[in-house]
Structure 1
């Protein structure tokens, strides 16, 4: 049976079961708890970590929900890795296309759809004037029914004719391609942000949980910006993969 070193901060605003789950997740991702290993039972874990059984049970349940652990009758709680995580290569593709290619079922809740004045940030990205009309989209993307990403996009309104119902059924890049827009290149940044209470609620995470944040400016084959995106992904469910080449 496996145990790892865990230290919880009882003065932290983060619940104890979340702290425990996060540290066990880090041990799984880092290989300290390898795939196939079994965890000690709840009683032993509670004693080892100085925590209550309900706290340990909540932490284990959280990792089971994330697909990192599985409970098997007669076997106990076993590490199964992060097979439920979406891995995405750094290419000019959309999340919708990537999920479809991975045989995952993409679903979309359209949270906001309409014309808005361009903020300074959006105007710089789309090379337009401050206050110009832009199409603003906000969506919650699910994979196989599970929340995965909060997506905000701004586009020049003349390049895309769509509606919320269509946007809920198809990917944005798919719609742009159908309009004859040829996506050529994008500039993207990746960082991390803590989830706000509102974001955490939408993504089924705890407030303060790490989110993978990306911003992307996409250009067409004429070098014109056609989309500015600002997206938040669940770090527990999503990662980027890329290959580094020595020069």
Structure 2
């Protein structure tokens, strides 16, 4: 797929670097769908000349978007738009709400909903005596009909009545808040590993593909554990964003 010759109005008196102005405008067009996946950029030399930029400046803009998972360089093809990764801030929010906020049209398939005794380590995380029954919930989350994440959650009984239909229609945290649960804080760890054959099939990835992992324990405003979550995400379509301050 090609695109019409690229034209960008640049403010050369602005303190914003020219490469970043180019990158921001390209990002806007990609996210809005003006430059859909498959769109090829022109040769760097031709494009730099048209925009009145040096080639290193244009290359810096392109590299910025390559790093953000919006462009890819392919030998023999050139620079091409790819479907952007879902970038999720590391905060106490649900994946469903994060996807809805950026227009990714979340959908959920409930794979399993049961009441059973969890493994002892999970009971310990939930601060429950061994042998206590809890909700066990397994879901496949999709973004615009594309598999994105497999989620396994344990919740204590008595907080909220979980229903497969409701869980398919909206996010877990929305259901908890609607039931009067105030989510206050979470302990969370992020990692990575390779997909098992079952995970790879569910997420439409090759066996052994890289996955991002998130383990989370969520507390309400009384200090009670309300959820223990174990999620895996497609690394090809997903990333976490952190803001660091010093």
Residue 113 of structure 2 is aligned to residue 113 of structure 1: yes
Q: Which residue of 2 aligns with 1:98?
A: 98
Deviation at residue 79 of structure 1 after TM alignment? 2.8
Deviation at residue 118 of structure 1 after TM alignment? 1.8
Q: Structure 1 residues 165, 233: closer, same or farther in 2, change over 3 A?
A: same
CA distance in 2, matches of 1:79, 1:120: 51
TM-score (norm 2): 0.69
**Secondary structure at 1:214's aligned position in 2?**
strand
Q: Which residue of 1 aligns with 2:87?
A: 87
Deviation at residue 191 of structure 1 after TM alignment? 0.6
Q: Structure 1 residues 221, 69: closer, same or farther in 2, change over 3 A?
A: same
Q: Which residue of 2 aligns with 1:3?
A: none
Q: How many residues align?
A: 181
**Secondary structure at 1:98's aligned position in 2?**
helix
Gapped regions of structure 1 (runs ≥ 5): 1-34, 39-65
1:120-172 CA-to-partner distances (Å, cap 9, x unmatched) read 12111110012210000000000000000000000001101121111000100
**Secondary structure at 2:130's aligned position in 1?**
coil
1:190-232 CA-to-partner distances (Å, cap 9, x unmatched) read 0111100000000000111110001000000011110000000
Deviation at residue 37 of structure 1 after TM alignment? 6.7
**Secondary structure at 1:152's aligned position in 2?**
strand
Residue 136 of structure 2 is aligned to residue 149 of structure 1: no
CA distance in 2, matches of 1:67, 1:207: 24
CA distance in 2, matches of 1:224, 1:164: 24
Contact 1:107–1:141 (8 Å) recurs in 2: yes
Contact 1:116–1:134 (8 Å) recurs in 2: yes
**Secondary structure at 1:215's aligned position in 2?**
strand
Q: Structure 1 residues 37, 153: closer, same or farther in 2, change over 3 A?
A: farther
**Secondary structure at 2:223's aligned position in 1?**
coil
Deviation at residue 238 of structure 1 after TM alignment? 0.5
**Secondary structure at 2:158's aligned position in 1?**
helix
Report runs of 4+ in structure 1 exceeding 3 Å deviation: 35-38, 66-71, 80-83
CA distance in 2, matches of 1:82, 1:219: 38
Summarize the alignment of residues 1-247 of structure 1 with structure 2, pairs less than 5 Å apart: 36=41, 77-81=77-81, 83-246=83-246
Q: Structure 1 residues 37, 129: closer, same or farther in 2, change over 3 A?
A: farther
Deviation at residue 36 of structure 1 after TM alignment? 3.6
Q: Which residue of 1 aligns with 2:53?
A: none
Q: Which residue of 2 aligns with 1:14?
A: none
Deviation at residue 70 of structure 1 after TM alignment? 10
Contact 1:69–1:77 (8 Å) recurs in 2: no
Q: Structure 1 residues 147, 68: closer, same or farther in 2, change over 3 A?
A: farther
**Secondary structure at 2:77's aligned position in 1?**
strand
TM-score (norm 1): 0.69
Gapped regions of structure 2 (runs ≥ 5): 1-39, 44-68
CA distance in 2, matches of 1:129, 1:91: 29
